[in-house]
Every structure is written in structure tokens, then in C-alpha cells.
């Protein structure tokens, strides 16, 4: 018999972790075990138990997503795994459907994830969004980018309380501005994530208010500065942040970060040099997927469409498949827009 339940935090180690370690951890080599990615401390973990054995596990974290300007609760799904002896038994389907129902009841509007294989999650109503562009820009070519002259950029040390507060404020400006963006809904969880992440941040302020951030770790002299998250409320903010990094031309040669899918640096300024290092390679390098959990808050044409086809409603709302009947009738209602989550999870 199968039962599904939510784990108490003190059960995580014994009930769910063995499956997650088997699915994602790799085998221990020598005396140093490989790191096992763990859900964030605010995650909820659910398991399917079959005849007393843990058959499947999934973790869910709470986020806020911007869908065409509306900020809605979003369930971030991760660490989906089933016991190798019990695969293809419907346990993951039962578990994911349970989680969708639970979060819909709590008022969550979307669910988002990075799949190991998109076709697996298509079965559950998820649709693929375009992958962020991973670009490596030559720093010396960014010094003259136009725009955002009124934006001031400063270095902060993230673990400091002031640094964390600045990162969170910039994150919330990005959340309000960027369609598709996903940020943690709990400020305490967001602060803990920032403290554990990259040690440095460039915070961009306009009129004293944070409007953008790039969190990063410094690399070897002459190497590439790898940016963990580059979140900018608009293009002027992004230009100002990139110019700030261009001031590091003696320290680093290149700047690597995720940009919105339609980013075209060749149009930002003459002479910009860059490489696109984006990759889609299953199971680790994949594009994000989203699904509607509840459609009550959607505007009417989308609600009607979702009753016919939930996936099409998500495609239209997120702007990745504008040509369906509703859009032909009102082409301006849901114009194509560039969804950018701004994070992985």
C-alpha cells in the first residue's frame, strides 16, 4: 500500500536523504564523499512510502514569481527521486500530483523546476521556457556601454548584514520588474541563501535605492569573473553594472553570467566582444519549466484557455507560444515577452 506524507525536519536524514544521496550524490571516492545537494532549510520534503519503504521523495521551496507584472506564489520543485527497485511504479506521479494539489490549495499559482529530462515533466503539465543565455563578455569591450548614467555601483561584502540587506533589496527590485523572475518568498530564507552564496556583490543604486545586483566570487588574476546572479531592474542598470566590472580590466579578462534569453550584446554598443557558452545537455544543463497550479487569478481569456489546455495557458502567459486562438483574437493581450527566472534551484 502507498501512503504520501510530509516529513518532519528530524526525519529528513533517515527517510529521504538515502534516496537523494543515491540519485544525486555519486559514489564516495577515496575518503572524501561527494557533496550531496541538500534542499534549503526552508524546504518541505514529501515522500511516498510503499509497504514501509521510502519509494519516492520530492522537495518544495517557496518562491514569488513575476508573471507579466503580477507577483504570485510559486512552488520550486527539486530533488525528485524514486527508489531504484520501485521505479515505473507510479510513485513519483502520485507524489508530484499530491504536491501540486497541496500547493494549489494553499494558493500557489505556479510551480517551477529545472528538469533532468523535459519530456518527463511534460507529462505533468509543465512547459519549457527559454534557457537564459550564458555569455562570456570581454571586459575591456564593456567600458563604453551607454545607458544608466544616473546609476551608482558599489562593492559590498555579502556576509555583512548591510551587504545582505542591499542584495535583498536589489533582488526585490528585480522581482518587481522582470517577467518570469523567481525570488525566495521568505526574507529570512533569502538572507540565509545570500550569506551562503558568493562573497562579493556589486550593488547598483538609483537615487539611493538598490535596483540591481551581481553576486560574484573573484577568480585568479587575469581570469574570468564568474557571476552567480546578475539581476537588473532594467537595461540601464545592467549597463551600469557591466561598466563597473569593466573597471576590473587589469584584474580579470572576461565576465561570465546568465542574461535574459533575448540578450544581444552586439546591439548594446559597437565593438562588444563575447561568446555564448550556453549549453543544453541532459540531465544537468536544462532550461526551466513552469506549470500553473491554480488558474483563479488568471485574466479571463487565459482561464478559459487553461480549462481547454493548461500547458497552452502557461505558454501564452509566459510569452513563449503566442500564436493560439486567444492571441489571434486579441494579439495585443499577451504579446511575446522574454521570461527570465534569474536563478537556478
Q: Which residues bind ligand COA (CB under 6 A)?
A: 23, 56, 80-82, 87-93, 115-117, 119-120, 123, 283
Nearer to ligand COA, 98 or 192 (CB): 98
Closest approach of Cβ 36 to ligand COA, in Å?
Answer: 13
Closest approach of Cβ 44 to ligand COA, in Å?
Answer: 17
Closest approach of Cβ 89 to ligand COA, in Å?
Answer: 5
Nearer to ligand COA, 88 or 328 (CB): 88
Nearer to ligand COA, 98 or 140 (CB): 98
Closest approach of Cβ 48 to ligand COA, in Å?
Answer: 9
The number of helices, as runs of H, and strands, as runs of E, in the chain is: 9, 15
Closest approach of Cβ 178 to ligand COA, in Å?
Answer: 24
Residues 55 and 263: their CA atoms lie apart, in Å, by 42
Nearer to ligand COA, 45 or 215 (CB): 45
Phi, psi of 154, deg, nearest 5: -140, 150
Nearer to ligand COA, 93 or 136 (CB): 93
Phi, psi of 265, deg, nearest 5: -60, -25
Pick from 248, 210, 245, 251: nearest CA to 227: 245
Residue pair 313/322 in contact (Cβ under 8 Å)? The answer is no
DSSP state of 25: I
Strands (DSSP E) found in the chain: 2-6, 44-50, 53-67, 70-82, 110-113, 127-128, 133-138, 151-157, 182-184, 200-206, 209-217, 224-232, 254-259, 274-276, 289-292
Nearer to ligand COA, 79 or 133 (CB): 79
Nearer to ligand COA, 244 or 345 (CB): 345
Radius of gyration of the chain, Cα coordinates, nearest whole angstrom: 21
Closest approach of Cβ 110 to ligand COA, in Å?
Answer: 17
Residues 170 and 231: their CA atoms lie apart, in Å, by 8
Pick from 202, 188, 189: nearest CA to 158: 202
Residues 103 and 111: their CA atoms lie apart, in Å, by 9
Closest approach of Cβ 102 to ligand COA, in Å?
Answer: 17
End-to-end CA distance of the chain: 32
Closest approach of Cβ 86 to ligand COA, in Å?
Answer: 6
Nearer to ligand COA, 115 or 265 (CB): 115
Nearer to ligand COA, 90 or 199 (CB): 90
Closest approach of Cβ 135 to ligand COA, in Å?
Answer: 26
DSSP symbols for 70-88:
EEEEEEEEEEEEE-GGGTT
Pick from 192, 198, 171, 173: nearest CA to 183: 171
Task: Estimate to the nearest angstrom the gap between the alpha carbon of 121 and the chain centroid.
Answer: 16
Length of the chain: 345
Amino acid at each position: 500500500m502507498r501512503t504520501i506524507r510530509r516529513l518532519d525536519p528530524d526525519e529528513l536524514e533517515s527517510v529521504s536523504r538515502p534516496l537523494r544521496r543515491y540519485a544525486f550524490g555519486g559514489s564516495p571516492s577515496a575518503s572524501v564523499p561527494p557533496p550531496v545537494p541538500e534542499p534549503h532549510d526552508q524546504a518541505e520534503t514529501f515522500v511516498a512510502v510503499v509497504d514501509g519503504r521510502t519509494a519516492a521523495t520530492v522537495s518544495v521551496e517557496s518562491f514569488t514569481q513575476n508573471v507579466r507584472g503580477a507577483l504570485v506564489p510559486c512552488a520550486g520543485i527539486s530533488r525528485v527521486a524514486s527508489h531504484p527497485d520501485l521505479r515505473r511504479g507510479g510513485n513519483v506521479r502520485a507524489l508530484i500530483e499530491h504536491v501540486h494539489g497541496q500547493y494549489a490549495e494553499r494558493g500557489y499559482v505556479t510551480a517551477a523546476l529545472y528538469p533532468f529530462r523535459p519530456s518527463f515533466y511534460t507529462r505533468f503539465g509543465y512547459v519549457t521556457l527559454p534557457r537564459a543565455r550564458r555569455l562570456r563578455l570581454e571586459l575591456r569591450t564593456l567600458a563604453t556601454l551607454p545607458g544608466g548614467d544616473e546609476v551608482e555601483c558599489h562593492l559590498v561584502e555579502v556576509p555583512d548584514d548591510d551587504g545582505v540587506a542591499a542584495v535583498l533589496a536589489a533582488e526585490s527590485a528585480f522581482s518587481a520588474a522582470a517577467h518570469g523572475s523567481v525570488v525566495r518568498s521568505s526574507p529570512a530564507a533569502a538572507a540565509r541563501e545570500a550569506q551562503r552564496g558568493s562573497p562579493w556583490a556589486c550593488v547598483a543604486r538609483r537615487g539611493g535605492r538598490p535596483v540591481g545586483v551581481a553576486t560574484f566570487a573573484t577568480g585568479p588574476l587575469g581570469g574570468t569573473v564568474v557571476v552567480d546572479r546578475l539581476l537588473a531592474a532594467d537595461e540601464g542598470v545592467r549597463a551600469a553594472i557591466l561598466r563597473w566590472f569593466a573597471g576590473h580590466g587589469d584584474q580579470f579578462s572576461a565576465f561570465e553570467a546568465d542574461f535574459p534569453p533575448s540578450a544581444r550584446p552586439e546591439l548594446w554598443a559597437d565593438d562588444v566582444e563575447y561568446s555564448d557558452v550556453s549549453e543544453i545537455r541532459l540531465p544537468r544543463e536544462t532550461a526551466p519549466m513552469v506549470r500553473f497550479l491554480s488558474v483563479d487569478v488568471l485574466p479571463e481569456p487565459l482561464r478559459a484557455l487553461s480549462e481547454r489546455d493548461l500547458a497552452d495557458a502557461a505558454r501564452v502567459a509566459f510569452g513563449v507560444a503566442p500564436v493560439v486562438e486567444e492571441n489571434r483574437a486579441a494579439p495585443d493581450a499577451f504579446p511575446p515577452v522574454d521570461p527570465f527566472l534569474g536563478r537556478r534551484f
